[in-house]
Structure 1
Amino acid sequence: MALKARPAERAGDLEKITVNLGYVDLGHVDLLVREGFYSNRTDFIRTAIRNQLASHSEAVKQSIARHTLELGLRRYSREELEAVRAAGEKLRIHVLGLAMIDEDVMPDLARETIASIHVLGAFQASNAVKAALADRIA
């Protein structure tokens, strides 16, 4: 299976994670970097992760469909949430990727319009909005 080309990632598009490796595994990574197979440790780790995701791509697609997850970046603006409130509705947010609530969204508007949040990836919102929605974030 061929991997799809990905657009260049910018620093703001990335989430930092920590990986603990045993010394022997780390030594193997460093050896591959030194031998020129990878440009650095991060390049090795990203390649390994992408290869694993590619090998499980069908299971991921089925799970996304089964759980009705939105894939990628999903941004919620103040205007969108005001329209949800005006319609008397509540959102159930399910995102695989990055879910963002704009900085100008007030905590009371978020509580009135968001019933639940389930994000596999990263969730960005002001600290006040996160606190207001704490009991709704899975």
Structure 2
Amino acid sequence: MKNLIKEFKQFVSRGNVIELAVGLIMATYFGAIVKSFVDDIIMPPIGYIIAGVDFAELKLKIADRTLADGTIQAITINYGSFINTVLTFLIVSAAIFLVVQSYNRFMKKEEAKPEPKPAAPSKEEVLLTEIRDLLKEKSN
């Protein structure tokens, strides 16, 4: 059991796991921001253009149901909420596509950079190398 806890600590303390957790948290809040953008900024003007309809309120009533307390509840298909969700997905997908595309371009630039050639030895280094080689020959 002690070994299992030690292995778990090593697993969690790796950089990749922490980076993944941070990325997941950021993605969750990014999704919330995009959802708010679609619901609160994009959809109201579109609803206004089509005769003041709020997309979140678009429903298709298929039946009424009487509850135990005597109230009547409408059974609906909420296609307006579905449209909002699809638009949110499309915006998030486009944003992720742009991020991945930028990342891939950056990585290609990094790969394309040639490694610098080692500098040619200076005259002094060449001379010292020759002296070293001559001394080796004399000692042999």
- Indicate the TM-score class for this superposition, using the shorter chain for normalisation: under 0.3
Q: Which has the larger radius of gyration?
A: 2
Higher helix residue share:
2
Structure 1 or 2: more strand by fraction: 1
What TM-score, normalized by structure 1, do the two folds share? 0.26
**TM-score, normalised relative to structure 2:** 0.25
